[in-house]
Structure 1
Amino acid sequence: MTSRVARLLAAGALPLLTAAIPAPAHADTGDYTLAYAYGTGSPGAATPGPASQSAIAAPLDVTFDASGNLYVTASGSCQIDKITPGGTLSVVAGTGTCTPGATSGPAASTAIGTPGSVLPMADGSLYFGETDTGRLYKVSTGGQLSVIAGTGTPGAMTTGPATSSRLDSPGQLVYSDGALYVPEREWGQVGRIDLASGQLTVIAGTGTNGGPPVPGPATSSPLDHPVGAAMDASGNLYVTTAVMDGQIVKITPGGTLSVAKSALAVPLGLRFHAGELYLTESAGAVSVVDPDTGSIGTFAGSGEPGGLVPGPAMNSPINVPYGMAFDASGTLFVSVPPQHRVIQLNPAPRVPAAPTITSVTARNQGAEVTFTPGSDGGSTVLQYEYTADGTTWHEFTTTATGSGAARTGTINGLTNGQAYTVRVRAVNAVGNGDPSAGSQVTPAAPAEPTVPDAPGTVTATAGVSSITVSWTAPAPGSNAEVTGYTATASPGPATCTTTGALTCVLGATAGTTYAVTVVANSDAGPSSPAGPSAPVTALAPAAPATVPDTPLTLTTDQGDISSTRPGAQLTVIGTGFAAYSTVEVTLYSAPQSLGTAVTDASGNFTKTVTVPADLTAGAHTVLAQGVAPDGTARAMKLTVTVAPPSSSAALPVTGDPVARTALSGLLALVGGAALLLGAARTRPGRHSRLLPTGAAHNF
């Protein structure tokens, strides 16, 4: 072990023998267990591979990066070790041989002096201090070592370029807003290094160790061996003065120094976690300090000399604990240099913390409660419970709400009109958790559903085979939310429904006079009808002079046909028209009405028409015209070839003229039968020579 590390530990050894840990009320009642994390308990260079099997010589500082990797400064072997969340150890700086004064090179294959503090950065680089020469180093993401502060000659810091300033024994490093903060143990100072410009500024201390700190300007106050450092969310820097004074000082962003805590047994490391300030003391304690009130609670370390003892953390000696780091689960890792180990302090399971009720909604004889659970206390929540009278607790069935941790459940069996104060709590294997704050609720029966007011004035306009109807919305302040409207024609049965529009189209029979009423729809039912409108009479479709261009094809009850004959009957089928509307069927070349049809509720029709007996042979078009459901014109057509009057075709045909072929076949069949009959009569007996001898036959 180097002389400087020996001096550091020796500085804690004397108080260990002569001073006792302060005896404030214990935080957490000692409910932590101590376990070995890393290190074998014997000094030695690190061995890459499983961290559980590697020595770690006199670990000083421990720090986690954002990925959960733990970095350890092994001061006894002059290395910086990295341990992955999976427990694999590698060396990121140092060779295991202590050789102070390196200035550059691959960090993992370059010998360094005694590393004190290590600080990994978000980009994968890291910074560390060398306590032998006072230099500060950076290890790049590519693993290259470079000097960022210190000349290599011990001495007090001076404001100016960081690489031109002396340093001696840098303590715990803190990063904030682009700068490193560095306590200087041997010269009683704290410096700030701007990483962008490389400029160092002395922000506290006079450059001479000793003497109690003096509240006021931080650069005018002496500091006695500052070692540990941590910064709160407001930018206040807390620093331990480690030997004679046993204090924690606070330095504001404006440079004002005050004493946050006194009468400590050689305070060493500091670490903020979850808004609380944690402290290690050389005399053998790990504690939580309230920097505002100065209260302290110790949760690990018996204060007695001796080796580490796994088990209840308050029962084990922890001599000269130094660095601290919390993993993502909240487990605290502490370096203990004389024991050559990193230990972990695991909080024992506790009852769950109090939930927070976010809403309580009155229901009929009940209430719906939404809350956010608190910490589970380190033990899985077994169930939630509620009380509505402050005395009796009942199991509370809840479900997750949304994507967060919130949960919702319904309390039943309450009395309408009676006020209740509702609280919830969680229960784990340890016991009943703390109850939430109370929330007031008064159950009530639901109001009777009401329907909306009727719409305003209804106006109907006649169209071809249709009626366009419009209306105004109910007056503001209607009793229920309108979900849509339904218009009904009289005589019926045509209706149209919207989801909010104030107009729609009704199919209509040409020549029929209609009046229209409209209701507003809601979840509670329809309103009373508005209207009726003034009577209007639907118009008949007018045949155009020529066949309109339409891609829509009529079909027939015989399928798609291509020919017919004069006098034949055709049953045509059309689809997609307005419901209950008139469709005109017209024959072209010259327009000639074949009749009208009224569509069904689906807008379809079937109409049997007669082909005129005097229709000339050739190509003709059957056209069906009316309106689509939106009131726009709709036309469908069927093109057929009309045979000459002499054609013997008895029915409309599709494809080839098969009747003639069928007749020829029939005649051939009859002729063949006659020949067979004649042949039979010329042969004696009952068998035909057309069959082999012995073949079965029945003629």
Structure 2
Amino acid sequence: MVRSIQRRRSAALLAVIVVGLLGVVAPDPAEADGGLTGAAAYYIDANAGEAVRIAQDGTHEILGNNFGGSPGIAVGDDGTVYVARSYDGEVFKIEADQAPAPMSFTTVFPVAIDLVVDHADTLYLATPDDGVVKRLADGTESTLTSNDILQYSSVAVSQDGTVYVLDRASGAVNKMDPSGTSSTVVVGYPEVDSISVLAIDGQDRLYVGAGSTGTVYRVTQGGGPPTVDTLTTTLGNFTDLDVTPDGTVYASQQYPSPSNLVRMDSDGNQVTVDGNIYARGLKVVVLPDPPATVTAVAGNTSAEVSWDTAGTNGGDSIKRYTAVADPGGATCVPVVHSDMSCTFTGLANDTEYTFKVKASNTDNDRGESLLSDASNAVTPGTPASPSPSPSSSSPPPSSSPSPSPSLTTSPTTTSPTTTSPTTTPTPTPSASPTPTTTPSTSPTPRPTKPLAPTGLTAVAGTSSIQISWQPPADNGVAVTGYRAIADPGPAVCTTTGATSCVLGGTAGVSYRVRVVAMSAGGVSALSGYSAAVVPTAPPVAGTPPATSVPLETDQGQISNAAPGQQLVLVGTGYAPYSTVTLTLYSDPIVLGQVRADADGAFRKAVTVPADLAAGKHSFAATGVDPSGKSRAMRLDVAVRPEPGKLPVTGPAVIWMIVTGLGITAIGAGLRIVRP
């Protein structure tokens, strides 16, 4: 054992020397600066104690300070940043455009050295001696521990909620049991050596870093022993690493100097992303591509701008688009933030404009892409006045009549003078007069958008809002549909002509609703607000719902569960953004509530009560469907007895019988041969 430790130390020392030599002879990494391509990086500056975000364009945004050398930083799907301050165990939440706010925990832990957040907004904090503190989005806390783990150093969570812990003391990566009370070793020495940090990609492959030797291992699990690939041994000394869903590795480098943020390219070479930083803790978030094909149409002091969807969404749906005008920098966000058109108003007539658009997979700027290519150039202006048309193509009439030559009279003999004949004057051309015209006024432009709807009525229901309205006054524009928008958002409902629809709502939240009318030429102004209403939570019945719609887990259909086991329930078909209540029967036990996503689906981790009696039980998810009607899903399981109380059945019984018969036979034989 002593000889093995000496060999490990000698190998580590040799690796450090080699890496140092490579650092001396290698070119300055800053010369190959590759920037952040399609991603943003978050880290803690250990010198300044600041939480920092690096955007794709290389700009640094300070999100907060007074964090010391904290190694723990995580980012939720909505762009919320979490920081664990190592020296006092305090955890901070930094929402977009907000100052850091401390979070209160009921679990006492003196130090937190790593944290992650999953897609359900569940936090996992690694505390060196006390285990992994797990905090659900609703504030429920538990602690995951194992007698086999000596030091909880780094934590990672897979897509299905499996928790992995790096035990730096034993040099192994452990997989926590769903019960949170035991673990199994996934990989350890000698397959991996001197490991210090842990991350996981979108395919649930583990990435284990040995920061002192510049080595990164990738661990792929399957039916048999895991496969361990050494991706690089030349990253230098690094303090942390992270990996994007596609497997791109980033590391916060400490040596060679200067300290850099680097990523590995497809050949295993390091590319400098940002230089001269001293990062502790690292999280890299993938961002969407910019939208494509931006098109602009000019109006009077306005412009209609539309675009095609982003090429990739960065792993999450696009929540918001923002268009930017040039010159001036005016911005426009669609009424429904994920719509792909927007109307700029207040532009200067006779000024040429172009427009660019950026997409965001958060409803704030933390998930924003770079700007798109510019649109076509347009120049807003007033409609041209029509030219006056002449009243006739012939010359204007003369003011003096001329006698008609066809009518003559002969003079009488009794008078020496002649009298003018009685004639009908005929207009003749005149060369001198000019036409007199009446100035014409410009016609009023025909409207292209309908007026706003009126008379909104909102009625709260279970996890929903029934909204109705009156059509707008007729201004000559055909209405093709309506869109109702909840405030607070992001729930919307759309019709093709009906004047009512149902919005999903979170129970207990006060909502007001506005409506727009849609046409081929664009969207009306927003209506006035409805009265405020508050949806109610789905009621809990005394018996399981009578439904054949199956509720599933992230592992598909299951038929057995154990007391204390954690399950991830998965449901679909609910009103978007509506509250769903999760209940365990026989006696109804409310396990929690969850809000459906934009597609009406949910994933929610729940824990089987530790004291639940063995036997048949049912998990139920109750709420409403997109039409506001009740919807229930159900999963029936058999709960096994607690460990230590298992009945003896199956092969164990057979072996007990065989053993008993064998002992009986031996005893009988001894009795027979006894003298």
Instruction: Tell me, yes or no, whether TM beats 0.5.
Output: no
Give the TM-score, by structure 1 length: 0.29
Give the TM-score, by structure 2 length: 0.30
Point out the structure with max Rg over C-alpha: 1
